[in-house]
Each structure stands twice: as C-alpha cells, then as structure tokens.
Amino acid sequence: MAYRLVVNAKRTQRDEAINETAAITTRELSEEDQRIVSSSACQIVQAIKNGQWTSTKVVTAYIKSAIRAQDETNCITEVLFADALKIAGELDAHFAATNELKGPLHGVPITFKDLIDIKGYDSSMGFSQWANKPAQADAELVRHIREAGGVPMAKTNVSQGLANFECSNPLWGVTKNPYNAKFIPGGSTGGEGALLAMGGSAIGWGSDVGGSVRIPAHFCGLYCLKPSSGRISISGTVDPSPGFKGITTVLGPMARSVQDVELASRVVFGKSADYSSAPVLYRGVQLAQKLKFGYYFNDGMARITPACRRAVSETVEALRRQGHECIEFELPSPEKASEIYIALTAASGNKDFFKNKGPDPTDPNLELALAYVPGFLHTMVWWYLKRADPVLARVWKVSTEKSAYEYTNWEVKKDAWIHQFHEKVSCPYICKAIYENLGQVWDAQGFDGIICPGMASPALIHNATKYLLALATAALFYNILDCPVGSIPVTRVDPKLDALPEDWLSTRSNVPSSKELDKMLYKGKWAYDADAMGGLPVGIQLVGKRWEDEKVVEMMKVVDDALGERGFGPDGWERWKAAHSG
C-alpha cells in the first residue's frame, strides 16, 4: 500500500539521522554525560555560566541520552541532532566572545511535540499524507525558545491525530513507558513524556486539550503545567480540527522539576507577535504562609484505584503536616462535564480525523471511539446502557454528529456548567442550608487550589485505551473550565500498599461511576494490577483559578517541598534504573 512506502521512508530517514550523529558522538554516556543528563535546566544554565560545561558538551550528552530513549521507547519522530550541535557551537562562540549568556535557556536541550512547527521539519502527527511537508517557519513558541538560547533537538511521537492517550500511530508506531515497556507513556504527548523521563531532553513542550500533557506527566513521573488559554502563543502549531473552538488547545511545558517548569514559563508567557496570546508576562506571586486546599478522590466516571487514591492522601497529609488546611469536597455534576466534552468534540462526526488520516488504517485503540454507528443502532445501545450503566449512557447519547444549532446549545450548557463549578463547589463538612442559600464558591471556601488524582489509574497496558478511553475524564474538567493545572509526581505503585482489598470487586463504592468502565478497569485483560504495575509513577493534579498560572507554579513548589525526597527529579529515572538493574 502507498502509505507503507511513506512509513518506511520516514522511519528510515529518522534512523539514518540518528546513526549519522551517533557515529560522531558515540552512543555511550560517560560519567560526565550522566551528570549532565541528570541535571535540571536551571543547573545546566548555571554550569555553562560558570564555565563548568559548554553548550556543545551538554547537547552531546543529551543526544546520547535521547538515542538511548529512542532505542528503548520509540519516542522520537523528527531528528534535529545535527542542527542542535551547530547551534550549540554558535552559543559557545557567543559565550567565548562576550562572556555572556544569550538568554535564560542558554545551551538547554529542548524537545517538542510533533504538532509544533520547526522550520524544515514535518509536523505529521502520525498521518502519512502529512509527511514530507516540512514547515516553512518556526512556531512562535520555537522562535522564543531560540531567542532565549534554547537548543531544539527533536520532535516527539503522538497518538494518531492527537485523539487518544495511548501514544501510537501507523506512521511512527508505538511509544513505550520508560519504566516498563508493557505499559503506555500516556498521550497524546507520550513521546515527550518518555524522552524527558529518560533524560533525553531537559525541557519538553506539548499541547493539552484533554489532558495531553498531564496524563504523560502522571504516567512518566514528570512535572508539567497546563496554563490558562492565552498565556502562551499557539501560532505555528498544526491543528487537526481547524475551526473547532469548543475546547481551547493550550501549549504547556513538561520538565523534571518545578523550577524548570517555571523557567520555561517565564521565557514564553505573554510573548506574541500576532496577538494570539495576552500581553501578560510571567508575574511574581507571594503566597500566604498558610494555604487552603480543596481535594477530592473521584471524578464521577471511574472508581479510583488504591495507588491513585494514596497519591492524593499522601499529598494532603504532607500539606497538613506543614500547617496548611485541606478540605475534602465533591465535584458538582462531574457526569455533566464528560457529557459536555464529548458532545462538543464529537459534533463534527469526526470528519476531520478521517480526512486527515487518508489511506492510513485507524489506530486500533481508536476503532471503538471513532466507529460509525447508524442512528437506529446508536439509539438501541443508548436504551440498553440507560438501564445497565446510566453514567456511560449519558456520554454515549451525545457522541453523535450535530447541527450548528445543536452545537451552540451545547456551548450554552458548557457555560452553565462552568458557572455551576465556580458557584457551587460543594463541601460535605458545611451545613447543607448554608450551601443551598449561599453556594460555595472558590472565594467563599477560600480555596487557594484544588488537589485531585492525575487519573483514576496509573499507566495502563498497551491497547487498554481502546476500552478505557473515558478515564481521561479526570483531566478534561479543567480544559472545559480553562483553569491552570500543574502535575506533580508523588509516589510509585507499591504491590503491597496498593493491592486491591479482597472484597473490592464484591463491594460497590458509594460514589457514582460507570459500571462498564469499572468492570474493564478491575476485571480481565486490562485490569488494574498492583503487582504488574509495581514501580510505575503516580501523580496528582494541582488546580488553580483561571489566570492564576503563576500561583499554581508557586503552589507546586509548596507541595513538592512538603512531599520531600521521593525518588523523582532530574536524576529520577537514572536512580530508579540503578536500583532495579540486574
């Protein structure tokens, strides 16, 4: 088939580019290389400034580490290694001549999700008919990174058309989790998650329209920020669904420390030549000495696994030990949020996806989600689910193509739910009469932030998303609300602590969830298994009010410090590998 010729050519092109560079640099990491790739972006800049390392030495070490990550996880799409070494040499010449850094990212290796344009390279997003069409200009984000001294080094793999949180597509293949190849790295920014976790990049950039940077951060033990829309320019990013504005896509940084998330954000916030972002630069924030957090465990779609519940509990306990206040609350109408998200994103009947994929096969993980179901059969399935699984029935009912009138009605419902969330964040510890009369708003509660699971489960095994795609509900709330969200790694799956209790399957949670989804998550081939998942990272989300992005970053520091040393950070993967080798 024609598409196979494109696939073979692109993969060969990538492999040859890697081998050409490896022939110059070698593949083996020296002890100094190991120190470099185990350093944060902030530490790299300081070391270059102090004359300890050169940009060329740093970039060379990260290239070696990126090749290792590619060999083990299949995370890279476009290889910029030769360009990166050239830029590093220019930065070294600049520093030698001026004794000054070019900018705050001087010499820092940076990688980008495949949809972000870099001049001279494809943004194929897993579609063969989008291959061999190199971008004519850098995305504005890339331009700002270059101006700050950052070194673009590679582009990374995604789910087909960004439509799933399994990172696989017919063009580039399947990306694996860096901690266990049997599991997924998340998506759609999964290649970035795998590469960054293994020290193949110092800072990564992805997009988020339904958890696409947060889910890989949760699965791969990383930090990230999903900012409010309008803080970072999206000019020069490829849109698989042009014209769709129901849920706003944002770009966000991924890193191995909160400090690097802050560094990346400072460089690009509020900078736009085409007015695609608000002219609001990164602002300093002074937090109160004592903070107040709301927290919850359940997203209304799936029963949370013991490992992910423990991550939230440990975070809350750590904050309380530091004197912060944490109050449990319940999400208002979480099932409505899932309904709204699906209604809006499915409104076109997925026509854009099928147009974009052309002759390519549909990724197996998307076959159920994108399958065409005739109207009468769709109604029959809904009637069955209405009785068997009311939660899933609501989502199924609205997963149909819509007229413009129907679409705008769902926009109205979205606005109403957003208003409800901000006006009625319910708290079980407050008198019901007060709740009914006054409502519980962010300000009335005094919440500085909200702590919640990264997802109901740690990383899934490959192909499980075909049946468990709805688990992304945990993330999509905050795309609808357009709230800034940080992701923080908290712990790892412990086979003893996180095993299912003996009566787990025979008892039902008192929190509403999808019966079918719970069945898939806890029984059979795709089931949660603490033994098999042992060692996989588990994270949390930290949510702030819209526009309070900088406050979220500062609160991430508070949470990170409260949790203390727990095996994550720039050298997290290296330490984990050393402890589990042999």
Residue 582 has a pLDDT of: 63
Residue 190 is labelled as binding a ligand = no
More confident residue, 286 or 331: 286
Average pLDDT over residues 440-455: 84
Q: Which of 189, 197, 175, 185 is nearest to 568 (CA)?
A: 197
Which tokens hold the place of 451?
Answer: 């702590």
- Confidence at 379, pLDDT banded by 50, 70, 90: confident
Average pLDDT over residues 376-398: 86
Q: Are 357 and 127 in contact (CB under 8 A)?
A: yes
- Confidence at 128, pLDDT banded by 50, 70, 90: very high
Residue located via tokens 């293949």: 173
More confident residue, 243 or 290: 290
Q: Which of 307, 306, 328, 330 is nearest to 317 (CA)?
A: 328
Residue 102 annotated in active site: no
Residue 496 annotated in active site: no
Residue 444 has a pLDDT of: 67
DSSP string covering 309-323: HHHHHHHHHHHHHTT
Give per-residue pLDDT as tens, 313-345.
999 999 999 999 999 988 877 888 899 999 999
Catalytic residue among 65, 188, 229, 257: 188
Angle, vertex CA 139, rays to CA 137 and CA 142, nearest 5:
110
Q: Which of 138, 197, 133 is nearest to 171 (CA)?
A: 133
Angle, vertex CA 214, rays to CA 573 and CA 238, nearest 5:
110
Catalytic residue among 38, 124, 207, 212: 212
Statement: residue 511 has pLDDT above 90: no
Which tokens hold the place of 327?
Answer: 């109050």
Comparing 2-6, 9-13, 264-268, 422-426, which segment has the lowest mean pLDDT? 422-426
- Based on its alpha-carbon atoms, the radius of gyration of the chain, rounded to whole angstroms, reads 23
Angle, vertex CA 114, rays to CA 246 and CA 38, nearest 5:
115
More confident residue, 444 or 64: 64
Which tokens hold the place of 222?
Answer: 């990383």
Mean pLDDT score of the chain = 93
Q: H or E stretch including 489? A: strand 485-492
Average pLDDT over residues 78-99: 98
Residue 268 is labelled as binding a ligand = no
Residue 425 has a pLDDT of: 56
Residue 272 has a pLDDT of: 84
Which tokens hold the place of 510?
Answer: 């008192």
Residue 544 is labelled as binding a ligand = no
Residue 208 has a pLDDT of: 98
Residue 509 is labelled as binding a ligand = no
Q: Are strands 173-174 and 76-79 parallel, antiparallel or unpaired?
A: unpaired
How far, CA to CA in Å, does 369 sit from each of 20, 349, 363, 366, 448? 40, 11, 11, 5, 37
Statement: residue 440 has pLDDT above 60: no
DSSP state of 229: T
Terminal C-alpha separation, the chain:
43
Residue 188 annotated in active site: yes
Whole-angstrom distance, CA of residue 457 vs CA of residue 463: 15
Residue 426 has a pLDDT of: 44
Residues of the chain above pLDDT 70, percent: 96
More confident residue, 432 or 172: 172
Average pLDDT over residues 234-250: 94
Residue 120 is labelled as binding a ligand = no
Average pLDDT over residues 546-572: 98
Residue 211 is labelled as binding a ligand = yes
Longest Cα–Cα distance of the chain, Å, equals 74
Average pLDDT over residues 534-559: 98
The helix, strand and coil proportions of the chain, stated in percent and rounded to the nearest 5, come to 45, 15, 45
- Confidence at 436, pLDDT banded by 50, 70, 90: very low
Q: Are 348 and 314 in contact (CB under 8 A)?
A: no
Catalytic residue among 10, 57, 113, 414: 113
Give per-residue pLDDT as tens, 405-431.
999 999 999 999 888 887 755 444 433
Q: Which of 417, 411, 421, 483 is nearest to 214 (CA)?
A: 483
Give per-residue pLDDT as tens, 178-199.
999 999 999 999 999 999 999 9
Comparing 312-326, 368-382, 430-444, which segment has the lowest mean pLDDT? 430-444
Statement: residue 289 has pLDDT above 60: yes
Which tokens hold the place of 183?
Answer: 């599991």
Residue 432 has a pLDDT of: 40
Statement: residue 534 has pLDDT above 80: yes
Whole-angstrom distance, CA of residue 237 vs CA of residue 240: 10
Exposure letters 367-400 (e unless 16+ CB within 10 A, then b): eebbeeeeeeeeeeebeebeeebebbbbbbbbbb
Q: What is the 3-state secondary structure (H, E, C) of 174-236?
A: ECCECCECCECCCCCCHHHHHHHHCCCCCEEEEEECCCCCHHHHHHHCCEEEECCCCCCCCCC
